[in-house]
Chains A and B, each alone.
Chain A
């Protein structure tokens, strides 16, 4: 089955800095790459996603880039704010109808 590796497991930045989280996957047939944000005591919530026919997608301060050849994709958060502090999960889908395989999660802490 699909194997997803996410790095780093923890990331600490100063407010205003950029943060980058990277995921690699194993199945070249995968075609859907979402990122979820989980705040304390809440369920994960989709923040951005990308499909394999697109190399980059932006939404205000967040962006996702995809390199299908190398089988990795990354989440970029610019101008970080304390409210960006959360656990971020990457996920991969597309080879099994409707199912997602999640990465291990990254705890992002943004210091004021």
Chain B
């Protein structure tokens, strides 16, 4: 089984619908992230959480919200989906690193969202 699991893997929805993408991890990491991938733009950070009570906006948080239900679960919501939110979404985790600012990210396999 994958260490970082995303559901659903594919979703087609209509403009204005509410969508939730879920992420669960078995790595025991405190830090979790949601990234969006668009062709030619790389990976852009939407939200990140360093523990259950910590939620932070990333570069492109407008139109998105998140919930950290437990150490292992981090969900991304689109309250009212629009076509330009069509993208590939990745959840990732990392260890907390004392004295170092960044470490390896472990990614899920992605959730492809199409908004018509």
Contacts and interface: CB of A to CB of B under 8 A. Distances in A.
B43 A45 contact: no
Given A43-B108, A43-B110, A102 B96 contact: no
B86 interface: no
Contact of A43 (B40, B42, B90, B94): B90
A32 B55 CA distance: 23
A107 B41 CA distance: 13
Interface in A79-112: 89, 93-105
Interface of A: prevailing SS: loop
A42 interface: yes
Nearest to A95: B101
Contacts of B94: 98
Given A31-B101, A43-B4, A101-B45, 9 more contacts: A32-B102, A41-B110, A44-B90, A44-B107, A49-B104, A93-B101, A95-B101, A98-B96, A98-B101
Interface of A: 1, 4, 6, 9, 31-32, 34, 36, 41-46, 49, 89, 93-105
Contacts of B43: 44, 89, 102
B64 interface: no
Contacts of B96: 98
A6 B43 CA distance: 12
16 contacts: A4-B42, A31-B101, A41-B109, A41-B110, A43-B107, A46-B104, A89-B42, A89-B43, A94-B101, A94-B102, A97-B50, A98-B31, A99-B48, A101-B45, A103-B42, A104-B41
B63 interface: no
Interface of B: 4, 31, 35, 40-45, 48, 50, 58-59, 90, 92, 94, 96-97, 100-105, 107-110
A45 B107 contact: yes
A31 B99 CA distance: 12
A44 B110 CA distance: 10
Contacts of A98: 31, 48, 50, 94, 96-97, 101-103
B37 to A, nearest CB: 8
A34 B105 CA distance: 10
Contact of B45 (A32, A95, A99, A104): A99
